């Protein structure tokens, strides 16, 4: 894991394909390239330079007097890491390029991995190495790196002002979608992932309109009940006349590729859909595609995740008069007798959750917390970390968005934790491993800004998810896709581990090795494989996956690591 640190005393690092809103900067970029435009923007004002750029980018530019400017795009599609080494700021796109030769890992980051299944910025798994958060810039003054946001979501919440007509918004939305896809697509070989969901189907349909060519689409399936939605991908491909390609991932594929995919990330990464995404990208690369589009972002911009409706239901409890809640409902449901009755138990669970504010309420669903910190973590590991740290970080992000709408605040929260820290690194990491470039038209700045202006009840109407998005595309998307439930590239790892001897041996071996590192209690690991997983493979399979991928990453990057 040792690396030759890049010399940043003179060289700049400019990544991605930014576009500049300032005409002078755009002209300079056209003449001399992105680095020249960045230098001019930073020379004018380092603190506003990043706000003048759109698209996916990362930039690090040494300045006079030993100072350095850093910036990444709104969603950190392109990443930038840094560390201070003997008074010199070093920077690189990936964290492992800045790691020291002693394999020093950050134990708090390992806890964050178990909590989030990824390691959110600004922390990385390597001690002393930091990752710039999405929508942030920084200036190193020779002693300290001063990090600050240059872009914070600012929602135009619904108010008394007259609204534009639905037809007008629909037409603008479709036009922005088409333009975003056109900007992102490879004009010579337009191609996209196609899960059969609303977002990927929309991108597939817009590709043909935007490029005037027959698009290539790539889908992954699983021979496991409840996990395969190839039927919907085929419906979309037929509707839009794409050159459609399919591959069914097998347990043998996982057995062969899990170590490779785990090691390819610059730090532990536990999103299980990374494996099917990798095989989908590999299929496209072997077919001659060099740039592929992904549909990530639509749910988070336009209100498509089930949890948004679920949290609205919990918030209804706040409308019940406080006196009634305190004098009757909560005492009645808090009795032992009530907790033994199925309906009363469900009602009590609802009240317990409804009484918690967001985002703390989301901890109810956290897998690590549900399994129990004392049961999962060794005493030495727990003593070495701040178990409240992730919640404090989440609470800080929760407060940042400029909105009075609880739904919009949830969306902005997910832009950080679901998109920037999990889904986008999944796609970027697996496409990079497959040798593909990737772009995300749903995250086009104009579309994001449109979503900020969209009335809140157009995103979640009652309990109807992404109402405007679906209605605006009715007649364009097949009805079957508009009405289907979201699934995506979910992986039946737990089910397959129970049926496939090779996967079972791989997981058992990885968990056995992980147990020697003094992170996770050996009794929990034993019970996980011998009791919990056989009883509920779909649920406990996620934890087996997370722990297995952690061990595979450690074997590749820090084989000697162990908590003292």
Report the pLDDT value the prediction gives residue 226, as an integer from 0 to 100.
64
Tokens standing for residue 16: 């991605």
| pLDDT range class, residue 1, cuts 50, 70, 90 | very low
Rounded average pLDDT over 89-104: 90
Report the pLDDT value the prediction gives residue 220, as an integer from 0 to 100.
93
pLDDT, tens digit, for every residue of 120-134?
A: 999 999 999 999 999
| pLDDT range class, residue 451, cuts 50, 70, 90 | very high
Report the pLDDT value the prediction gives residue 3, as an integer from 0 to 100.
39
Report the pLDDT value the prediction gives residue 501, as an integer from 0 to 100.
95
| pLDDT range class, residue 486, cuts 50, 70, 90 | low
Report the pLDDT value the prediction gives residue 169, as an integer from 0 to 100.
95
Give the integer Cα–Cα distance in Å for 234 and 201: 10
| pLDDT range class, residue 8, cuts 50, 70, 90 | very low
Report the pLDDT value the prediction gives residue 10, as an integer from 0 to 100.
53
Paired strand residues for 154? 402
Q: What mean pLDDT is reported for the chain?
A: 92
Rounded average pLDDT over 489-511: 92
More confident residue, 549 or 230: 549
pLDDT, tens digit, for every residue of 420-448?
A: 999 999 999 999 999 999 999 999 999 99
Report the pLDDT value the prediction gives residue 65, as an integer from 0 to 100.
84
Report the pLDDT value the prediction gives residue 376, as an integer from 0 to 100.
97
Whether the per-residue pLDDT at 481 is higher than 70: the answer is yes
Report the pLDDT value the prediction gives residue 338, as an integer from 0 to 100.
67
Report the pLDDT value the prediction gives residue 162, as an integer from 0 to 100.
54
Whether the per-residue pLDDT at 45 is higher than 70: the answer is yes
Distance of CA 514 to the CA centre of its chain: 26
Rounded average pLDDT over 461-466: 94
pLDDT, tens digit, for every residue of 365-377?
A: 899 999 999 999 9
Rounded average pLDDT over 272-294: 96
Give the integer Cα–Cα distance in Å for 65 and 284: 47
Sign of CA dihedral 208, 482, 219, 441: positive
* DSSP structure string for 397-444: HHHHSB-S-HHHHHHHHHIIIIIIIIIHHHHHHHHHHHT-EEE-GGG-
Give the integer Cα–Cα distance in Å for 90 and 86: 10
pLDDT, tens digit, for every residue of 152-200?
A: 999 997 554 557 899 999 999 999 999 999 999 999 999 999 999 999 9
Q: What are phi and psi of 421, to 5 degrees?
A: -100, -15
Whether the per-residue pLDDT at 5 is higher than 50: the answer is no
Q: Can you give the residue ranges of every domain in the chain?
A: 13-149, 306-362+388-404, 493-557
pLDDT, tens digit, for every residue of 245-272?
A: 999 999 999 999 999 999 999 999 999 9
Report the pLDDT value the prediction gives residue 157, as an integer from 0 to 100.
74
Judge whether 192 and 218 are in contact, CB under 8 Å: yes
Whether the per-residue pLDDT at 452 is higher than 90: the answer is yes
Report the pLDDT value the prediction gives residue 51, as an integer from 0 to 100.
95
pLDDT, tens digit, for every residue of 550-559?
A: 999 999 999 9
Whether the per-residue pLDDT at 135 is higher than 60: the answer is yes
Rounded average pLDDT over 224-250: 90
| CATH architecture designation of domain 13-149 | 4-Layer Sandwich (3.60)
End-to-end C-alpha distance for the chain, whole angstroms: 20
pLDDT, tens digit, for every residue of 356-366?
A: 999 999 998 89
Rounded average pLDDT over 89-94: 95
């Amino acid at each position: 894991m040792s690396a030759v640190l890049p010399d940043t005393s003179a060289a700049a690092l400019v990544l991605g394909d930014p576009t500049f809103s300032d005409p002078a900067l755009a002209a300079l970029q056209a003449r001399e390239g992105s680095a020249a435009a960045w230098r001019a923007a930073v020379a004018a004002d380092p603190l506003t330079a990043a706000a003048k750029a759109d698209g996916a980018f990362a930039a690090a530019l040494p300045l006079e007097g030993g100072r350095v400017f850093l910036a990444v795009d709104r969603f950190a599609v392109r990443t930038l890491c840094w560390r201070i080494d003997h008074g010199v700021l070093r920077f690189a796109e990936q964290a492992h390029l800045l790691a020291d030769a002693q394999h020093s890992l950050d134990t708090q980051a390992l806890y964050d991995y178990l909590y989030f299944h990824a390691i959110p910025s600004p922390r990385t798994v390597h001690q002393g190495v930091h990752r710039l958060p999405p929508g942030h810039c920084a200036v190193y003054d020779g002693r300290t790196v001063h990090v600050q946001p240059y872009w914070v979501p600012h929602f135009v919440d619904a108010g008394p002002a007259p609204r534009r007509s639905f037809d007008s918004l629909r037409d603008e939305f479709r036009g922005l979608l088409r333009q975003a896809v056109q900007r992102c697509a490879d004009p010579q070989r337009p191609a996209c992932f196609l899960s059969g969901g609303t977002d990927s189907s929309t991108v597939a349909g817009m590709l043909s309109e935007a490029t005037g060519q027959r698009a290539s689409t790539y889908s992954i399936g699983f021979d496991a009940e409840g996990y395969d939605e190839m039927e919907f991908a085929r419906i979309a491909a037929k509707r839009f006349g794409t050159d459609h390609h399919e591959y069914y991932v097998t347990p043998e594929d996982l057995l062969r590729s899990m170590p490779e995919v785990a090691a390819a990330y610059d730090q532990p990464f536990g999103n299980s859909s990374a494996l099917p995404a990798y095989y989908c990208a590999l299929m496209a690369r072997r077919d001659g595609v060099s740039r592929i589009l992904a549909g990530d972002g639509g749910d988070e911009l336009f209100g498509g995740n089930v949890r948004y409706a679920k949290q609205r239901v919990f918030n209804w409890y706040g409308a019940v008069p406080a006196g009634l809640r305190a004098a009757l409902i909560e005492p009645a449901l808090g009795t032992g007798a009530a907790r033994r009755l199925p309906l009363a138990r469900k009602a009590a669970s609802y009240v317990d959750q409804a009484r918690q504010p967001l985002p703390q309420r989301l901890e109810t669903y956290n897998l690590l917390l549900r399994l129990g910190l004392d049961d999962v973590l060794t005493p030495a590991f727990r003593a070495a970390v701040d178990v409240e740290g992730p919640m404090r970080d989440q609470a800080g992000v929760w407060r940042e968005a400029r909105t009075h709408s609880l739904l919009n605040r949830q969306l902005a929260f997910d832009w950080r934790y679901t998109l920037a820290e999990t889904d986008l690194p999944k796609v970027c990491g697996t496409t990079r491993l497959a040798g593909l470039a990737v772009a995300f038209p749903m995250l086009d700045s104009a579309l994001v800004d449109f979503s900020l202006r969209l009335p809140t009840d157009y995103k979640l109407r009652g309990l109807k998810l992404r109402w405007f998005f679906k209605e605006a595309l009715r007649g364009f998307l097949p009805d079957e896709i508009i009405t289907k439930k979201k699934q995506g590239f979910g992986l039946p790892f737990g089910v397959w581990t129970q049926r496939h001897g090779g996967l079972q041996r791989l997981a058992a071996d990885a968990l056995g090795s992980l147990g020697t590192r003094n992170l996770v209690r050996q009794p929990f690991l034993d019970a996980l494989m011998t009791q919990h997983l056989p009883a509920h493979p779909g649920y406990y399979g996620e934890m087996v996956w997370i722990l297995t991928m952690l061990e595979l990453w450690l074997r590749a990057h820090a084989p000697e690591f162990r908590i003292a």
